Amino acid sequence: MNSIDETKMLKYLALYDNPFLYQKTGFIFSEYQRELGISDDFIKICKDRCGNSKRYLTSGINNPAYSGEWKLVYPKNIKRIKNGGLEDAAI
């Protein structure tokens, strides 16, 4: 898998300047940090700019979990979700 161009990602995030985008991006990238080759510095920038609001990653979460680190409610089985549903092997 190719690594993410962090400089480009930060540029796009800065254009929107939206704490919720930093929060969601930082959370997802931290979950897949090793697989995507994301640096600790990138994660820290997202944390610093995500604000203090508690939010939902997406609507309609059936089996929720909460990340206190990111102040985000997310699907507990997030790593088994593919194309909007659970992977066949997980069913």
User: At 72, which helix (H) or strand (E)?
Assistant: strand 72-75
Other Cβ atoms less than 10 A from the Cβ of 27: the count is: 22
Cα separation values, 37 from 25, 41, 42, Å: 14, 12, 10
Question: pLDDT tens across 7-60, in order?
Answer: 999 999 999 999 999 999 999 999 999 999 999 999 999 999 999 999 999 988
**pLDDT at 62 > cutoff 80:** yes
**pLDDT at 79 > cutoff 60:** yes
**pTM of the predicted model, to two decimals?**
0.83
pLDDT value of position 24:
97
pLDDT value of position 27:
97
